[in-house]
Chains A and B, each alone.
Chain A
């Protein structure tokens, strides 16, 4: 077991002018399950591959435990990796696949057999040990890939979207199983996904990346409660947080002719630029009220337990709304308004996030 430290680690691919990972700083605790999440192309896989030693590090350093592994080859890092497409050796049986690393390390045959059998038992693969990968289902292959990693008892597990090739239902089940297994083994794990639900449910902490830059690294709860900027605010949570920019008026921000109250001291700090402020509120932090910001309902989505309203800000004669995104509002399914109706919104106590309209950073 070990900690993992990224120290301003940077990767610039050859013939590329922009770093794929730019000065990444991360401290991952011993036994921690850290999830790297972000949109496609944000540098998640690159970060993981830098840690694995499959990608050069152009600046900064990476440490596993107290050891600087910046220039160490993968085999000297004591890590095991689960690939997105599993990368099982096609000509080897499940047993040989799982035992390959140990065989190379010169572990005696009998010990390999014991350790493979142990891993097979944990993953319920005992009946498939003699099979080749092509005779396995997607879920079984995924487990073999996991088995190949745990057999080695490495210092760190690295997983790059290991569930993305499974169907939705299997993915949900396997997700909890991987998280449980990791907690049981207590091995430091870095897990890459682009699915924020996966990130929130599995990670002890979640690191959000965008364009190679770390946006925020925190517990799922904090990411949800206190997103550091509008990107994280929009990325974490489903449906996404509503983020709107409007002009500052006395006591709040004016949206569609109505005033959404914003605490005074936050308003003052935000209103540097031309008297505007960006506010955000989650669909579940809003309620319908007799008075408030008027919106026109476009679509009502009934999910049984909830209903989601997709709405646009109501007409306002002074054209003061600078950011006219669709708003999403969660309501009681039974009292959901009809399409075309105008309703008034109020943000619940503590449900309002304030951001600087220029830097997009959170203001508390």
Chain B
């Protein structure tokens, strides 16, 4: 019986000889790009990076220098002085820590809750599944502005004004996230995989952690990135719920460079510092977004 598989092995590999050539030719078509594509890509990359670069340039100049023609294109050594001034004017350090906590909690909460709910909506059979999902999606149509006043009254009664939980808790799960994860899982997660786990004796929770989460990982990374960015950039609710004593980055930036003439350099310096953590998150999560993780799960 040890020979059980050696024989099929040969037949499995032998007929592959002919199709490889065509397949390889097809693969090259996909992986290699022409000169025009390269030019376009370089252009796009340049356009995407330029605003950030310009922020760095502007952060290292004075208002007068920026107003000159032609505008400056190279950063200056003043950058760090300006950053220092920005840090003095507003508690940027505290704001970054606060923003990391807020955006971090919101991201973890949203990704976890959305994956759990998305899995339930996509794969579990329960009464009212469709109705509940419709209700969740329906909340997306309610504008944020509408909820602000009741929310503020609630927060004030809880005496949470100027506390971080006032910003974290209301956005701990998002309808978009639930919908996004449901769509991904209903399509990417085959029912057989869940059934296999059930037959293998896994409870629903165990199946979630051992089977669903690994499969959902790329979508979770995308959702995490989007959520983190939204939470980091959120301004409307934080400026209502928080004060400049205990701000998030966006709230702190709003207080920068004030005066008769706005001090562009300081604002830009603050913005630059406030943007860096987002870049780090992008680099870290970008690696998680690997396609084809489901490859080989089902079918031959």
A, B in one complex: yes
Chain A contact residues, CB within 8 Å of chain B: 52-54, 73-75, 79-81, 83-91, 100-101, 104-105, 121-125, 132-143, 148, 152, 165-167, 169-170, 173-174, 177, 180-181, 184
Given the contacts A54-B199, A174-B8, A86 and B298 also touching, CB distance less than 8 Å: yes
Given the contacts A91-B293, A181-B1, A166 and B300 also touching, CB distance less than 8 Å: yes
Instruction: Report yes or no: B198 in contact with A90, Cβ–Cβ below 8 A.
Output: no
Chain B contact residues, CB within 8 Å of chain A: 1-9, 11-13, 15, 190, 192-193, 195-202, 206, 210-211, 214-215, 292-300
Majority secondary structure of chain B interface residues (helix, strand, loop or mixed): helix
Chain A residues near B195 (CB-CB < 8 A):
52, 54, 74, 81, 83, 87
Instruction: Report yes or no: B199 in contact with A139, Cβ–Cβ below 8 A.
Output: no
Instruction: Report yes or no: B198 in contact with A75, Cβ–Cβ below 8 A.
Output: yes
Instruction: Report yes or no: A122 in contact with B1, Cβ–Cβ below 8 A.
Output: yes
Instruction: Report yes or no: B11 in contact with A134, Cβ–Cβ below 8 A.
Output: no
Chain A residues near B206 (CB-CB < 8 A):
104
A288 to B210, alpha carbons, bound, how many Å? 65
Instruction: Report yes or no: B215 in contact with A87, Cβ–Cβ below 8 A.
Output: no
Q: Can you give 15 A-B contacts (C-beta < 8 A)? A: A54-B198, A74-B195, A74-B199, A85-B190, A85-B192, A87-B190, A87-B297, A88-B296, A90-B214, A90-B215, A100-B197, A124-B3, A125-B5, A134-B296, A170-B12
Partner of A133, one of B1, B6, B214, B296: B296
Instruction: Report yes or no: A89 in contact with B211, Cβ–Cβ below 8 A.
Output: yes
Extra pairs beyond A122-B4, A124-B2, A137-B13 (13, CB < 8 Å):
A74-B195, A75-B199, A81-B199, A83-B196, A86-B299, A89-B193, A90-B214, A101-B200, A104-B201, A123-B4, A134-B295, A136-B296, A173-B8
Given the contacts A90-B293, A91-B215, A134-B296, A104 and B8 also touching, CB distance less than 8 Å: no
Taking the closest CB of chain A, its distance from the CB of B11, in whole angstroms, is 5
Q: Closest residue to A121 on the B side, CB-wise?
A: B2
A174 to B6, alpha carbons, bound, how many Å? 11
Given the contacts A75-B201, A141-B300, A170-B11, A91 and B4 also touching, CB distance less than 8 Å: no
Instruction: Report yes or no: A100 in contact with B210, Cβ–Cβ below 8 A.
Output: yes
Taking the closest CB of chain B, its distance from the CB of A94, in whole angstroms, is 11
Question: Most chain-A Cβ atoms within 10 A of its Cβ — which of B7, B201, B210, B295?
Answer: B201
Taking the closest CB of chain A, its distance from the CB of B200, in whole angstroms, is 4
Taking the closest CB of chain A, its distance from the CB of B250, in whole angstroms, is 37
Partner of B214, one of A84, A91, A142, A165: A91
Taking the closest CB of chain B, its distance from the CB of A156, in whole angstroms, is 11
Chain B residues near A124 (CB-CB < 8 A):
2-6, 9
Partner of B8, one of A54, A80, A105, A139: A139
A101 to B206, alpha carbons, bound, how many Å? 11
Given the contacts A87-B298, A88-B296, A181-B4, A139 and B198 also touching, CB distance less than 8 Å: no
Taking the closest CB of chain A, its distance from the CB of B220, in whole angstroms, is 13
A139 to B8, alpha carbons, bound, how many Å? 7
Chain B residues near A105 (CB-CB < 8 A):
201
A179 to B294, alpha carbons, bound, how many Å? 31
Chain A residues near B5 (CB-CB < 8 A):
123-125, 139-140, 143, 177
Q: Closest residue to A135 on the B side, CB-wise?
A: B296
Chain B residues near A53 (CB-CB < 8 A):
198-199
Q: Closest residue to A91 on the B side, CB-wise?
A: B214
Given the contacts A139-B9, A141-B300, A90 and B200 also touching, CB distance less than 8 Å: no
Instruction: Report yes or no: B297 in contact with A80, Cβ–Cβ below 8 A.
Output: no
Chain B residues near A132 (CB-CB < 8 A):
296
Chain B residues near A139 (CB-CB < 8 A):
5, 8-9, 11-12, 300
Given the contacts A54-B199, A87-B192, A91-B215, A140 and B12 also touching, CB distance less than 8 Å: yes
Chain A residues near B190 (CB-CB < 8 A):
85, 87
Partner of A104, one of B11, B192, B202, B297: B202
Taking the closest CB of chain A, its distance from the CB of B153, in whole angstroms, is 45
Instruction: Report yes or no: A88 in contact with B297, Cβ–Cβ below 8 A.
Output: yes
A123 to B1, alpha carbons, bound, how many Å? 8
Instruction: Report yes or no: B192 in contact with A169, Cβ–Cβ below 8 A.
Output: no
Instruction: Report yes or no: A83 in contact with B296, Cβ–Cβ below 8 A.
Output: no
A121 to B6, alpha carbons, bound, how many Å? 11
Instruction: Report yes or no: A87 in contact with B12, Cβ–Cβ below 8 A.
Output: no
A125 to B190, alpha carbons, bound, how many Å? 25
Q: Closest residue to B295 on the A side, CB-wise?
A: A134
A104 to B209, alpha carbons, bound, how many Å? 12
Chain B residues near A73 (CB-CB < 8 A):
198
Q: Closest residue to B207 on the A side, CB-wise?
A: A104
Taking the closest CB of chain A, its distance from the CB of B28, in whole angstroms, is 21
Partner of B1, one of A83, A85, A184: A184
Instruction: Report yes or no: A122 in contact with B8, Cβ–Cβ below 8 A.
Output: no
A73 to B199, alpha carbons, bound, how many Å? 9
Taking the closest CB of chain B, its distance from the CB of A320, in whole angstroms, is 51
Chain B residues near A84 (CB-CB < 8 A):
192
Chain A residues near B15 (CB-CB < 8 A):
167
Q: Which 5 pairs across A and B sit closest by C-beta, in order of nearness?
A: A134-B296, A138-B300, A124-B5, A133-B296, A85-B298
Instruction: Report yes or no: A90 in contact with B295, Cβ–Cβ below 8 A.
Output: yes
Instruction: Report yes or no: A122 in contact with B298, Cβ–Cβ below 8 A.
Output: no
Given the contacts A100-B210, A122-B2, A167-B15, A85 and B293 also touching, CB distance less than 8 Å: no
Instruction: Report yes or no: B296 in contact with A74, Cβ–Cβ below 8 A.
Output: no
Taking the closest CB of chain A, its distance from the CB of B204, in whole angstroms, is 11
Chain B residues near A54 (CB-CB < 8 A):
195, 198-199
